[in-house]
Chains A and B, each alone.
Chain A
């Protein structure tokens, strides 16, 4: 699976949009971009994933560049409860059993009042 690069930490003001970048310059054509987050002392929580089109759900939006070498996770109105470590993961999608998720360092997002 392609390696990802994320800034180690970011701050965001409560109520503002949080934009978390991720570089995945070696991504392959059949690899999806997944985002998970981990709130302190909990298991990771799925946020969103995409292949090449921008995606939006109730939690966030995912913007993938046209060349697919980078992406941005957007939390439109960050709250204090969004403080967590956010992981960007690239892997082959679909129902391929046994393809594990490989976690990098992630970005520690701190939402401040």
Chain B
């Protein structure tokens, strides 16, 4: 079945630094990738949608200059959290959509900013 690899699974960084999270579709081409954020005991909230080779579309309230998304190929999308602050600590999850429309999620990245 379709597999999405998300890396790293957890990361701790210092306040003010940047962190990059990778999302790869291993056995299919992902026309669209989605990035979600999930705070403790809350549901997943969509942050942005990215299509290969074009700029990401951000949801209202999500700072595009803080959460940089790159979708340079049909199998790789990255989310960079720039100048991270403690309030950015969260569980970040990517989802890849294949040509037939199915969604596959990565295993998530737990970011802790100290």
A43 to B, closest residue via Cβ: B105
Expressed in whole angstroms, the minimum distance between the Cβ of B28 and any Cβ of chain A is 13
B101 adjacent to A94 (CB under 8 Å): yes
CB atoms of A97 and B31 under 8 A apart: yes
Rounded to whole Å, the gap between the CB of B97 and the closest CB of chain A is 6
Contact in complex: B91, A100 (CB < 8 Å): no
Number of A-B contacts (CB under 8 A): 55
Main secondary structure of the interface of B (DSSP, over half): strand
Residue among A36, A41, A43, A102 making CB contact with B46, cutoff 8 Å: A102
Whole-angstrom distance between the Cβ of A5 and the nearest chain B Cβ: 13
Q: How far is the CA of A37 from the CA of B28 in the complex (A)?
A: 22
With A100-B46, A101-B34, A106-B43 known as contacts, the answer to whether A46 contacts B103 (CB < 8 A) is yes
- Does B95 sit at the interface, judged by CB under 8 A? yes
Q: Give the distance to chain B from A60, nearest Cβ to Cβ, in Å.
A: 16
Residues of A within 8 A of B7 (CB): none
Contact A103–B44 (Cβ < 8 Å) = yes
- Of the candidates A41, A94, A96, A104, which one forms a contact with B43 in the assembled complex, judged by CB atoms under 8 Å apart? A104
* CB neighbors of A among B29-55 (8 A): 31-32, 34, 36, 43-46, 49, 51
